[in-house]
Amino acid sequence: MKAIYNVIKRPLLTEKGASLQEQQGTYLFEVDKNANKVEIKAAIEELFNVKVAEVRTAVVHGKVKRFGRAMGKRPNWKKAYVRLDGDAQLDFLNPAS
């Protein structure tokens, strides 16, 4: 099993994520491309001391962008939608507190 910080890269703090937090108790994270749902669930539960109800993942394909005169492509990355049990909430400023 991978270390927690190798699985969870960062929380995604966006407008879409904020509305999902309020309506469904779902949080968004950027995770390692090779991490599976079981590893993501275990990492979130250990890092934040909460019970995870469901994990959904999506691979976000990198955009094709211009870099000067040349065209290039940003790398693909994986996003995880993590829904918590009950009324649990995450505190991104103080993990495991």
Q: Is residue 92 a part of any domain in this protein?
A: no
Nearest to 47 by CA among 79, 84, 87: 84
Q: How many domains in the chain?
A: 1
CATH number of the CATH domain containing 69 = 3.30.70.330
Q: Is residue 91 a part of any domain in this protein?
A: no
pTM to 2 decimal places: 0.87
Q: Is residue 69 a part of any domain in this protein?
A: yes
Q: What is the pLDDT of residues 44-91, one digit of tens each?
A: 999 999 999 999 999 999 999 998 999 999 999 999 999 999 888 887
Q: Where are the alpha helices (DSSP H) in 1-97?
A: 4-7, 15-24, 37-48
Q: What is the pLDDT of residues 17-37, one digit of tens each?
A: 999 999 999 999 999 999 999
For residue 44, what are the domain limits?
A: 4-84
Q: Is residue 28 a part of any domain in this protein?
A: yes
Q: Is residue 93 a part of any domain in this protein?
A: no
Q: Is residue 96 a part of any domain in this protein?
A: no
45, 52 contact by CB (below 8 A): yes
